[in-house]
Amino acid sequence: MPNAKITGTGWYVPDNVVTNDDLSKVMDTNDQWIVERTGIKERRWVKDRKFVGAAALAEPAARMALEKAGKTPADIDLIVFSTMTPDYVLPASSCILQKKLGAVNAGAFDVVAACSGFIYGLSCAEKFVKSGMNKCVLMVGAELFSNRLDPSDRSTTVLFGDGAGAVVIEPTDEEGGILSTHVHADGGNYEILYVPAGGSYDPISKGEHERIYNEGLQFLQMKGQELFKIGVQRFSEAIMEALTHNGFKIEDIDVFIPHQANARIIEMVARRMKLRPDQSIVNIDKYGNTTAASIPIALCEALDKGMIKKGDLVVMAAFGSGLTWGSAAIRWI
């Protein structure tokens, strides 16, 4: 059975920078309040948010990843697209991306695992490649969250940014690559972070839209303190699971790429796990929480800066709505 290797990476964020000072002009907040609680200084939002979807953000990231892998869209035989802000209720955004790329030979499906979406998608892609079913998988995490936020709710709106990250995964006979992926969920806590309306349970239909909009049920709802506590616990568990499964210890990690949810969560996890400052990749200050896109964006930046070398042990971990969490261990080759 072949191993699975990441052969190309790509990322994209909109040009439009939204600073904390920008947000302070439209809501009751300020730069100090946001930085102290989240570590975020700015984020990228699509400027004209009407009729632009997650697939439009994913396309340039995907093309970059394909170019670095030395592949064309025709080489792709599967697209796995992780997002919780799809272009449409149906079809899947993976199919929209397939059209944009011209990936005529690819199967396509979406994964909905919120901030854990990249880990879930990577787990799917890895197994398709290792099974021999697919030879060139494009795995994308992309979110356009700026139009899903309540502009009056500073507890959520300051956190999120728009962006996309992509990887190409192929089989290899080399030792290493994606060593393991691990995914978990606890649906009993789904109401800690969710959007109440817009799905089949409470659709935005004629006669109901006024109630939904008056109550703000189309926007993200979050119980921040509960999420923080559970997030730290599950993050730590996910890291240890990836290490233990492969016979590693904390000190063996060369690069830790956490989901960029909140700088304070990352700091607390690092202290709990006794991670060295030089082990963690943190870029939330520039992009905010881009949910399913945060890990691949951070991965791309780390590679661009030469922070990941051949032979390094890279551990990724994420936690998000669902509730979902997971991790991956990669020996970079």
Q: Which of 3, 134, 262, 289 is catalytic?
A: 289
CA separation for the pair 326, 333 (Å, rounded): 22
CA separation for the pair 49, 46 (Å, rounded): 6
Q: If 0-12 CB within 10 Å is exposed, 13-18 middle and 19+ buried, where does residue 15 land?
A: exposed
Closest CA to 145 of 115, 123, 116, 122: 115
Cβ atoms of 297 and 65 within 8 Å: the answer is no
Q: Which of 115, 124, 136, 300 is catalytic?
A: 115
CA separation for the pair 303, 8 (Å, rounded): 11
CA separation for the pair 40, 247 (Å, rounded): 35
CA separation for the pair 96, 193 (Å, rounded): 27
The position carrying tokens 């109901």 is 208
CA distance to 11, 93, 160, 285, per residue, from 304 (Å) = 11, 28, 23, 18
Cβ atoms of 6 and 122 within 8 Å: the answer is no
Cβ atoms of 167 and 146 within 8 Å: the answer is no
Q: Which of 20, 95, 182, 259 is catalytic?
A: 259
* Residues whose CB is less than 8 angstroms from the CB of residue 154 and which lie 6 or more positions away in sequence, other chains included: 23, 27, 28, 29, 33
Active site annotation includes 136 = no
Here the tokens at position 164 are 């996309």
Active site annotation includes 115 = yes
CA separation for the pair 304, 131 (Å, rounded): 31
Active-site positions read 115, 259, 289
